[in-house]
Amino acid sequence: MIHTTEEFKLFLLSCPLRKFPKGRIVLYQGELPQYTYFIKRGVIKAYSITELGEEKIATFISNNELFPLVWPNDPNSVALYYYEALSDVEMYLISRDKLMPFLESNKKAMEYMLQYSIANYSTSLIRITALQQPKAQDKIAYILHHLMLRYGAPTESGKYEINLNLTQQDIAGYIGLTRETTALELNKLKRRSVISYRNKRYTVDKTKLLTLINEDSLSSVEA
């Protein structure tokens, strides 16, 4: 997880802060954004809807993250997804005419944006790997690794808690499985003590998960 610099924190204080209740759509697919949003607290779900009315989750955006990322560099780009508050959310609204001059004149802030983009790219590759897996159990294992790296925080026991409140349907929609299959595979991992979960919060044993995945290359990626 990338943390904001002091310069960026001071910059945010000059931007309006707004609250959005759970379930509120902040941006509609195809809408031209007026701001870049920086999340102070809460989680945003980005998704599309198929012709059959099925929700396909693209990503989750949480504390200290921005969206949409393309818009500051291309003010004519429209939102590619629906952006909906998955919880009550507080966000700073950053106009393009403030963000770009600030980044161009502040090296540390620009470095933060670069690190943030690289971190997103790295964890997105693991999600792509998850989507490519032919077996449901492997899809779930890889997506848990992705969630752990992107949203996880270490606990005193050496495990990682995923800082998102996720239903089994959320995970199913994120990986392209049915809720029933997702529930079955999560229960298998729970019985093997790879994960534990309560009240939509998941804790992952990183060592056991990587052993299950059996990919030595993944063990070098830090959460």
Q: For residue 9, with 0-12 CB atoms within 10 Å meaning exposed, 13-18 middle and 19 or more buried, which class applies?
A: exposed
Query: Distance of alpha carbon 175 from its chain centroid, rounded?
Result: 13
Give the 3-state secondary structure of residue 22: coil
- Among the listed residues 117, 87, 113, the one whose alpha carbon sits nearest the alpha carbon of residue 26: 87
The pLDDT tens digits of the residues spanning 85-138 come to: 999 999 999 988 888 888 888 887 788 778 878 888 888 888 888 888 999 999
pLDDT at 150 over 70: yes
- Higher pLDDT residue, 216 or 153? 153
Q: What is the CATH number of domain 6-106?
A: 2.60.120.10
Q: How far apart are CA 44 and CA 138, in angstroms?
A: 26
Q: For residue 81, with 0-12 CB atoms within 10 Å meaning exposed, 13-18 middle and 19 or more buried, which class applies?
A: buried
- The answer to whether residues 206 and 148 touch, using CB atoms and an 8 Å cutoff, is yes
- Confidence (pLDDT) at 223: 53
- Confidence (pLDDT) at 215: 55
The pLDDT tens digits of the residues spanning 181-206 come to: 999 999 999 999 999 999 899 999 99
Tokens of 105: 């004149």
pLDDT at 221 over 70: no
pTM of the model as a whole: 0.82
Architecture of domain 133-220: Orthogonal Bundle (1.10)
Question: Could you state, in order of their start, the residue ranges of all structural domains in the chain?
Answer: 6-106, 133-220
Query: Distance of alpha carbon 173 from its chain centroid, rounded?
Result: 14
Provide the 8-state DSSP code for 5. Answer: P
Tokens of 23: 């379930």
Give the 3-state secondary structure of residue 122: helix
- Confidence (pLDDT) at 70: 66
- Confidence (pLDDT) at 191: 94
The pLDDT tens digits of the residues spanning 39-93 come to: 999 999 999 998 888 888 999 999 888 898 765 666 678 889 999 999 999 999 9
Q: How far apart are CA 205 and CA 190, in angstroms?
A: 10
The pLDDT tens digits of the residues spanning 163-183 come to: 999 999 999 999 989 999 999
- Among the listed residues 46, 43, 81, the one whose alpha carbon sits nearest the alpha carbon of residue 200: 43
